[in-house]
Every structure is written in C-alpha cells, then in structure tokens.
C-alpha cells in the first residue's frame, strides 16, 4: 500500500553522479527539504514508455511546473547511479529532472510503490507514480492504474497543481 498523503518522505540514502561527474551520497530528507518538488517513479531506465514518454514529458514541461511553484523534479527508478546518469545524458535532462537511482529499491519499498515484474523477468521495479512533496511531506500521490502516463505524466500533473 502506498505511503499516505501528509506523511514524511522516508529517509533513504542513495548515490548520485553530480554535474562534475563525482559520485556523491545524498539523502531524501535533504533533497526534499524546504522545497516543493515533484517526485515521479517508473519501472526502468531506457524502457519504451519511460524513455520515450514519461521522462521527456517532465523535461518538456519543467518551466511550466516551475511557474506553478515547483522548485525541482526528481525521477526515480530501481537501478544504479551509473545507469541513471547515462539515461539522464541520453535524454538531456540537465537541471530539469534529477535522476535518482534507487539501487536496492529501498525508497520504492518504503513508499509502497513496488511492483513484481518477475514474470516478465524484470524483478521488482518501481510502479509508475507521481507525488508532490512539500518540505519533505507528501502532499499528493497518484499511481498509474494502467499502462501509459495518463495519470503520472507531466501534463496530468500540471492540471492537478
């Protein structure tokens, strides 16, 4: 069951490759402190919908989200920080979307948004979701009920802000 609205985002450490190419350890508590941000999750880097639609929707709409008071956008998926950096580079996310590597699926599990795709030989993944996080508190959380990004894409997110 997903984390409830008005709960704090769980404190989880993760590795991230910064703009200088250095690996740093960050904590979700720090990343989401004192800011209103979008956190969206998806099943996997370079997978068709995630790569061609979901992340690009947030890159394309980053300025509109900022105009509505969003101070940052974070994309998370289960995978390592090198994969997420390569994916960010391939999509040209720049400073529009921070790519968070949930290496062990710890944040995914604590948020309650894991999905078992072992039948498809993909293991445990992050279910497609989007949350508004305000100073570390979950203000809203939407989980995609089917395939696609009708609920969790940037366009749908903008309508709800």
Q: Where are the domains of the chain?
A: 13-160
Contact (CB, 8 A) for 75 and 90: no
Least confident piece of the model among 40-49, 59-68, 112-121, 146-155: 112-121
Residue 157 annotated to the active site: no
Comparing CA positions, the residue from 157, 115, 109 lying closest to residue 10 is: 109
Residues 39-51, mean pLDDT to the nearest whole number? 95
Dihedral pair phi/psi, residue 28, rounded to 5°: -60, -35
Q: Give the pLDDT mean for 45-58.
A: 96
What are the φ and ψ backbone dihedral angles of 116, each rounded to 5 degrees?
Answer: -90, 110
Sort strands 98-101 and 72-77 into parallel, antiparallel or unpaired.
parallel
Among the options 31, 38, 45, 50, which is catalytic? 50
Spatial contact of 73 and 40, defined as CB atoms under 8 Å apart: yes
Query: For residue 122, what pLDDT is reported?
Result: 85
The CATH superfamily of 13-160 is: Glutaredoxin (3.40.30.10)
């Amino acid at each position: 069951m997903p984390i409830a609205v008005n709960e704090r985002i769980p404190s989880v450490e993760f590795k991230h490759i910064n703009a200088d190419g250095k690996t740093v350890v960050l904590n979700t508590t720090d990343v989401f402190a004192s800011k209103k941000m979008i956190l969206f999750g998806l099943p996997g880097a370079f997978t068709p919908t995630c790569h061609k639609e979901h992340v690009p929707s947030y890159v394309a709409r980053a300025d509109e989200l900022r105009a509505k008071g969003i101070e940052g956008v974070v994309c998370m998926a289960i995978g390592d920080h090198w994969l997420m950096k390569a994916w960010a580079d391939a999509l040209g996310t720049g400073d529009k979307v921070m790519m968070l590597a949930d290496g062990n699926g710890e944040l995914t599990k604590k948020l309650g948004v894991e999905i078992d795709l072992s039948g498809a030989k993909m293991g445990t993944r992050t279910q497609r979701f989007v949350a508004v996080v305000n100073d570390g508190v979950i203000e809203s959380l939407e989980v995609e009920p089917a395939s696609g990004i009708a609920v969790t894409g940037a366009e749908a997110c903008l309508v709800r802000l």
